[in-house]
Amino acid sequence: MAPCLADSGAQRGIALITAILVVALAAIAATAMYTTMAIAQRRTELLVESEAAEWVADGVETWVLGALQIDAATHSVDSLADVWAQPVMSLPLGDEKGSIGNVSGRIEDLQGRFNLNNLGSINPQVEIARFRRLLESIPGIDPQAVDSLGPVIRDWIDSDEEPYSGLGAESDYYLSLNPPYRTANRLMLGISELLPLKGMTPALYDVLNPYVAALPTTAARINLNTAPLPVLMSLSAKGSRAGLEAFLQDRVQQPLQAVEEAIKRGLFPDDPQALSIADVRSSYFGLAATVTVGRTTVHLHSLIYRPPGGTVIPSVVIHSFGGE
């Protein structure tokens, strides 16, 4: 009888171990199924939130186009006192049941910046001199960059492969790098194209960022009512810094109504030619909007062109989405 009892106990032990294994495998399978379902559910939520955020961002862009058209039809000049120039810090999304997210954003007059593509104009010496004055007016710019960056950008934009000067750089320079690449030989599509240029660093890019734009033209004028001090200083080697600083203090309440008023207000007393590239109206604007829906955030950046007069709806030249 003893061997039979031993066999019976062994069988019960094997059965118990088998049962435990079956339960463990079932638990593992259930956990895997739950995890897969949770991931699928979260992926679906993210897709829904992302799509909703992009729809809201598109709506913001459409609203901005209408607002800029109304502004052009009702105002004779563009200034920092205009409604479009006031940033929206946080606008809640939702209804009486609760908030699902928020929107923030700002519109910037890109003609208040130096247009990098002007360096590709038929008067490179004039534009490079203006760009040099811009760099000299920005604190923290390396003197070497002051000398070389204008010719380097000119070479990136122009259609030939001849360096503008000994400080420039055409494809033969960039092809010697690892990895190699060529100059664009076209107008810049965005200021991020500065990053691969000879002599450019992340620190220099960050310093330049608030003062430059890449507009789809080589003849953009500077809006005196919206440009910061370094951009205003770039217009003339004879500009009165004290006069410009005083103007910056007053222009929100007293914007120029015509370019010619700049002379009367002492901005460029010895260089009326500076006004040949100045304006008090703008056609190019930048929209930067951030939309958050649930746990999804979408960033929209748009370059907007507004024809003069306010009779034609502005159009989006280019836009891009980014998320997190």
Q: For residues 119 and 48, give the distance between their C-alpha atoms in angstroms, rounded to a whole number.
A: 44
pLDDT tens readout for residues 72-97: 999 999 999 999 999 999 889 877 67
Q: Which pLDDT does position 323 carry in this prediction?
A: 54
Domains along the chain with CATH numbers? 2-110+284-323 (3.30.1300.30)
For residue 5, the model assigns a pLDDT of 56
Burial class (CB in 10 A: 0-12, 13-18, 19+), 166: exposed
pTM of the model: 0.84
Inter-CA distances, 216 with 3, 50, 283, 311, Å: 95, 30, 11, 22
pLDDT at 269: 76
Q: What's the pLDDT at 42?
A: 65
pLDDT score for 250: 93
Q: Pairing relation of β-strands 284-293 and 296-305?
A: antiparallel
Say if residue 159 is exposed, middle or buried (CB neighbours under 10 Å; 0-12, 13-18, 19+): exposed
End-to-end CA distance of the chain: 73
φ, ψ (nearest 5 deg) of residue 134? -60, -50
Dist CA 54 CA 322 (whole Å): 10
Per-block average pLDDT, block size 10, for the chain (324 residues)? 61 77 79 75 75 91 95 94 93 79 95 96 92 93 91 96 93 96 96 96 95 94 97 90 90 94 84 88 97 92 92 93 66
CB 68 within 8 A of CB 306: yes
Give the burial string for 2-32 (b: 16+ CB within 10 Å, else e): eeeeeeeeeeeeeeeeeeeeeeeeeeeeeee
Residue-wise pLDDT for 107-165, tens only, equals 999 999 999 999 999 889 999 999 999 999 998 888 888 999 999 999 999 999 999 98
